[in-house]
Amino acid sequence: MAQNIYDDPAFFAGYSDFPRSRLGLDGTAEWESFRALLPPIAGKRVVELGCGFGHLSRWLAAEGAQRVLAYDLSEKMLAAARAASADAAIDYRRADLDTLVLEPQSADLVVSALTLHYLADFTRITTMIHTALVPGGDLVFSVEHPIYAARAVPEWVPASDGRDAFAIADYSVEGPRRTDWIVDGVVKYHRTLATMLNTLAGAGFTCRAINEWRPSEAQLAANPDWAATELTRPMFLIVAVHRPEGRSH
């Protein structure tokens, strides 16, 4: 079973105070980049894997999704999501993404934000999603960028040019990373970009676009201190892939 840190009271309290939790999508630096990779939503049967407080699922419903199946492992987050909206198009469901099996060809679009790096088995989840999508369907997801996630603890180091560089290590050593983030012992899984893209291709997906997130010029103007950090190394990776029409695989 996937680790359920979000139901840890200390983690839940800490995470609930983050801008992305309090402000929703507008408190999420990478949201505009994520949205830019989404196909049209109206009329679609959408699945969200790792819905958290439900911000994205509510946006999808507001965009006219036919229905949104919103899965999460955390009872606390699902309770908060249900309390925030009674939109009949959204069905919040508790599930362990390590074992969840969706109905074949039941979804036009699967989305997942900053969730899949908690799963040990990327092959299983991508194969399952491919089966769950109709031919012509889309998967759009974000994860921590492997440059950022290669070391368990992000670290800045002074470099010879007088600036702080980002320390990368163990990029090619895939596997669990135990980190103390809000609470001790949070486990995420580091996978290289090549592994993710090749696994998606092996599952039958074709790549539409990838985004190694960097702030827009407007975001840099509003947050001048981001130039020294967010242009140095990408924190988020956003991937948009497609299940081709007319092929079973």
- Give the footprint of its own copies on this chain (CB under 8 A): 147, 151, 153, 155, 157-161, 163, 165-173, 192-194, 197-198, 201, 206-212, 214, 230-234
Residue with tokens 């990327």: 122
User: How many residues does this entry show for the chain?
Assistant: 249
Query: What is the spatial distance between Cα 113 and Cα 72, in angstroms, rounded to a whole number?
Result: 11
DSSP-derived 3-state class of residue 7: helix
If the CB atoms of residues 105 and 206 are measured against its own copies, the closer one turns out to be: 206
Distance in angstroms (rounded) separating the CA atoms of residues 67 and 117 = 26
In the complex, the smallest distance separating the C-beta of residue 247 from its own copies, rounded to whole angstroms, is 12
Shortest Cβ 145–its own copies spacing (Å): 9
Main-chain dihedrals φ then ψ at residue 169, nearest 5 degrees: -155, 155
What's the closest the beta carbon of residue 164 comes to its own copies, in angstroms? 8
Nearer to its own copies (CB atom), residue 95 or residue 240: 240
What is 85-101 written as a DSSP string? ---TTEEEEE--TTT--
| Exposed / middle / buried, residue 45 (Cβ in 10 Å: 0-12, 13-18, 19+) | middle
Q: Give 61 or 152: the residue with its C-beta nearer to its own copies.
A: 152
- Please answer whether residues 233 and 168 qualify as being in contact, where contact means their C-beta atoms are separated by less than 8 angstroms: yes
In the complex, what is the shortest distance from the CB of residue 207 to its own copies, in angstroms, rounded to a whole number? 5
**CB 218 → its own copies: shortest distance, Å?**
15
What order do you get walking across the sheet with 90-94 strand by strand? 90-94, 67-72, 45-49, 107-113, 133-144, 236-242, 206-212
The answer to whether 215 and 30 have CB atoms below 8 angstroms apart is no
Measured from the CB atom, the residue of 2 and 165 that comes closer to its own copies is 165
Nearer to its own copies, 66 or 206 (CB): 206
Give the nearer residue to its own copies in terms of CB position, either 99 or 206. 206
Query: In whole angstroms, how close is the CB of 170 to its own copies at the nearest point?
Result: 6
